[in-house]
Chain A
Amino acid sequence: NAGVMQNPRHLVRRRGQEARLRCSPMKGHSHVYWYRQLPEEGLKFMVYLQKENIIDESGMPKERFSAEFPKEGPSILRIQQVVRGDSAAYFCASSGERTDEQYFGPGTRLTVT
């Protein structure tokens, strides 16, 4: 039973480019969460999605960031026109109906140059 998969593991983008981060939840899980970890900080909630629905995006910056979890395929976190401050580790987690049992992927480390 494969765990939560994230790709790419490392992503380098120049300022102004777009970054797309992908997350495949554990088999049978329909809840996906995205968290961001800035250097020397804890993880910060960004968005919670179920299939085809955004449930809570209260942690998402209002501009340039978007997320989706389509009926088929992985969840995507999209960052448009990246800036240096977007450099961070982005973690995806998934859960079944027990949303307090979240399993994390290995993360995508985004570096903006």
Chain B
Amino acid sequence: DQQVKQNSPSLSVQEGRISILNCDYTNSMFDYFLWYKKYPAEGPTFLISISSIKDKNEDGRFTVFLNKSAKHLSLHIVPSQPGDSAVYFCAAIFDSWGKLQFGAGTQVVVTP
């Protein structure tokens, strides 16, 4: 029962251009959404989050957009840099216990 879905397993983008990562969810009870970045052989590191009462949150080069009616969120990275090459996970929380539900991840490769 995959409640958080990332349908693009990989994304290749040129350095300096925009990376757009997409995430869909099925559970309308989710009230907080997060993006994590993961390098090989390391744990996920928190990138940016958004509450369900907002539709946009921005932090430097990273912006997350939430469309609740479509149950869809996206992460924009602009401009993309070589160090952004990693796997990006979308995650969601719906209860106070903070049990994160993760998508399968999107591998981003930023090319020179």
Contacts and interface: CB of A to CB of B under 8 A. Distances in A.
Nearest to A4: B43
B42 A107 contact: yes
A42 B42 CA distance: 14
B104 A42 contact: yes
Interface stretch (B13-21, B53-61, B92-100): B92-100
B44 interface: yes
B98 A104 contact: no
B43 A104 contact: yes
B104 A99 contact: no
B99 A33 contact: yes
A100 B89 contact: no
B102 interface: yes
Give the bracket for the number of chain A residues in contact with chain B: 20 to 34
B73 interface: no
A35 B4 CA distance: 15
A31 interface: yes
Interface of B: 4, 6, 32, 34, 36, 41-46, 49, 89, 93, 96-105
Interface of A: 4, 6, 31, 33, 35, 40-45, 48, 55-56, 58-59, 91, 93, 95, 99-107, 109
